[in-house]
Chains A and B, each alone.
Chain A
Amino acid sequence: MEETKIFVVIAVLSTVLIGLASYLFWLDRRVSKMEKEIKNNQN
């Protein structure tokens, strides 16, 4: 494991996927805020 450095590839790929997921969560939160604003405007 240490020798072939395959763990570096696993670390990099995991970072990319975690990064993508975090970005989607953040976008989701911004959309939710706007949704709430629209609901408030209607009332």
Chain B
Amino acid sequence: MSDFFKNNWWKLLGVLLILYSIIAGFLIEVPDLPVIRQSIRNLFFHVVMWFSMMVMFGTSLVRSLRYLSSFELKHDVVAIQSVNVGLFFGILGIVTGMIWANFTWGAPWVNDPQLNGAALTILAYFAYLVLRRSIDEEHKRARIAAVYNIFAFVMLVVFIGILPRLADGSLHPGKGGSPMTVTNLDSMMRMVFYPAIIGWIIIGFWITGIRVKMANIRQHLDNPE
């Protein structure tokens, strides 16, 4: 029993943080903004998906760099599985964003630099998966994929971090032309928002770990020594 907690306490922490964010996310007082009204609470459920995606892709980048400096395939396995989980968060971010947009902007997809940037980023990472599938030799695949991964992360920073801020007329808060709501986000909301991000990132690492184990078993099955 104590071994269970020793090895798994962080997973439990992740679940508890998310549970807390759901309960508190519905119960705390939030500023009543026009149009968006109570749906501002989606900050705890939609926005955290994007934060988690970026952390997963960032983890992947770090592992790709470590692969390139060591040529150890164990880093490559984590790099690819982090991208897989990051894409899962990205797709959830897109779908939940479309639901939210439909009820605030009147359409699931509007021509907004933030939306298009997010879509392009996800496409760039799908291209990473396609690229990997096209190379058979594993060290060659790991090397080329790692180099592409650096490029993909630069695309993420440009498409999500830079271009939407430079563009004028983004509907997203804090991006070109729109006031930043997060800076005057009250401290109550921060107390839910940050734990929610940490919770989902932990779940992301957990799923990545499971996928890495699966990939190792797959590898073993395909090439029995």
Q: Does B12 reach chain A (CB closer than 8 Å)?
A: no
Interface residues on B, range: 20 to 34
Q: Contact: A9 with B41, CB < 8 Å? A: yes
Chain B positions within 8 Å of A37 at CB level: 221
A4 to B38, CA, bound (A): 5
Chain B positions within 8 Å of A6 at CB level: 37-39, 41
Contact indicator per residue, chain A 1-22, by CB within 8 Å of chain B (1) or not (0):
0011110110111011001100
Q: Contact: A9 with B95, CB < 8 Å? A: no
Chain B positions within 8 Å of A31 at CB level: 214
A27/B103 contact (C-beta < 8 A), A4-B38, A38-B221 known? no
How many A residues touch B, CB cutoff 8 Å? 21
Q: Contact: B218 with A12, CB < 8 Å? A: no
A23 to B206, CA, bound (A): 13
User: What is B's interface to A at a CB cutoff of 8 Å?
Assistant: 22, 25-26, 36-39, 41-42, 45-46, 49, 88, 91-92, 95-96, 99-100, 103-104, 203, 207, 210-211, 214, 217-218, 221, 224
